[in-house]
Amino acid sequence: MRPEDNPYTPNAGARPPVLAGRVDEVRAFAVLLERLRRGHSEQSMIMTGLRGVGKTVLLTTFEEQARSAGWVTAEAEITKHADFAGRMATLARRALLQVAPAAKWRERARHAAGVLRSFQVTVTPQGELTAGLGGVEPLEGLGDTGQLNDDLTDVFVSLGEAARDHDTGVVFLFDEVQFLALRELEALIAALHKTVQRSLPITLVGAGLPQLPELAGEAKSYAERLFKFPAVGSLPQEDALRAVMGPAEGLDVTFEPGAAEQIVEYADGYPYFLQEYGFILWTTASESPIQGDDVERARELVEAKLDGSFFKVRADRTTELELQYLRAMAELGPAPQQAKDVAQVLARRSESLGPTRARLIDKGLLYTPGYGLAAFTVPQFDAYLRRTYALQPSPTSTKVSQQEL
């Protein structure tokens, strides 16, 4: 089989040829847009799930849906310690200019431009983001308090009013939402809440790790009424088989009975692993139909690829003590683990490892599914750690940096 024909897409956020098992999410987003278009209120959506389940792919799909339906979109990947207010000013400016070019602005759009200019001057003192805003002067009293909660609310409301006046709506699509600081998430939720109260056609669809419902609840107590939090997980067997077999069948390549099932079993139905396995299998199998022996021969290459990239880049971000904490968790298995049990494996006091655990959560390698529990954000990470790193339970066997003391 020719490598240039390889239909599998094991790239970050790349949409696979067959988007299997995500019908409910796609339908829910279509309903969200239609209800807002009709002037009804509807909850925004934040998808949660582990790494590699296809959250970013769904965001890309939603962006295409929204544009096809005549909506304006503004996309961003959230990063820690970035200038969130400045980024929001840039996204709001982009959205406003998509709602209508300055030459075609109506009163509401010109008002929104004034609010946005006030916000820009407040969060970026140089006010350099003026291109395309038609020389509009800042509008005093709106978007200029220096309080992100109030100013972002002013921007969202004015942008939503302009969009409605121009018979469109605005969708913000944010990836890695868990990296927002608490005050930033609080401001975003407050701004959306006001647009809901005024039935404006503006919404947020986000994606991030499983702790997001808890983080949103900490930011604003009404967040659970403002958002839906659909959990995106591994694919059921039937959908996983379709994700494996569908792309190949589109090129007249088939699988012998049981061969595709071997891939699904190894990957536990996780979409990224399915794509990685399919991609490598395409390069190693000699002909159609693909047989079980072909799948078996490719497995070592698949595991080496995952170990050398998907897993390793995450392990490389840890200190020695953090890595040993992860390795101790892996010794206990893939399920969520109590902090005291991890400490026992390391022969350490649980309290002494609290900062280590907190840093791993901050780095996005662990999340907290319940009180006192921590779980891996990466599927099969426990197996990788067990086969790659030795466990060092003695407290004197690990060199501890000053930061970890």
The predicted-structure confidence for 93-106, as pLDDT tens digits, reads as follows: 999 999 999 889 99
Which fold is adopted by the domain 318-404? Arc Repressor Mutant, subunit A (1.10.10)
The CATH number corresponding to 235-314 among 2.120.10, 1.20.1070, 1.20.1250, 1.10.8 equals 1.10.8
- CA–CA separation, 158 vs 359, rounded Å? 39
**What pTM did the predictor assign?**
0.89
- CA–CA separation, 112 vs 154, rounded Å? 9
Q: Which CATH class is domain 23-228?
A: alpha beta
Mean pLDDT across the chain: 92
Arithmetic mean of pLDDT, 243-267: 96
Question: Structural domain boundaries of the chain?
Answer: 23-228, 235-314, 318-404
Which residues does residue 45 pair with via DSSP β-bridges, in sequence order? 205, 228
For residue 205, the model assigns a pLDDT of 97
- CA–CA separation, 25 vs 71, rounded Å? 18
Q: Say whether pLDDT at 393 is over 90.
A: no
Q: Say whether pLDDT at 398 is over 60.
A: no
Question: Residue 127 — pLDDT band, cuts 50, 70, 90?
Answer: low
**Structure tokens that stand for 93 in this block:** 């400016």
CB within 8 Å of 405: residues ≥ 6 apart: none
Instruction: Give first-to-last CA distance, the chain, whole Å.
Output: 55
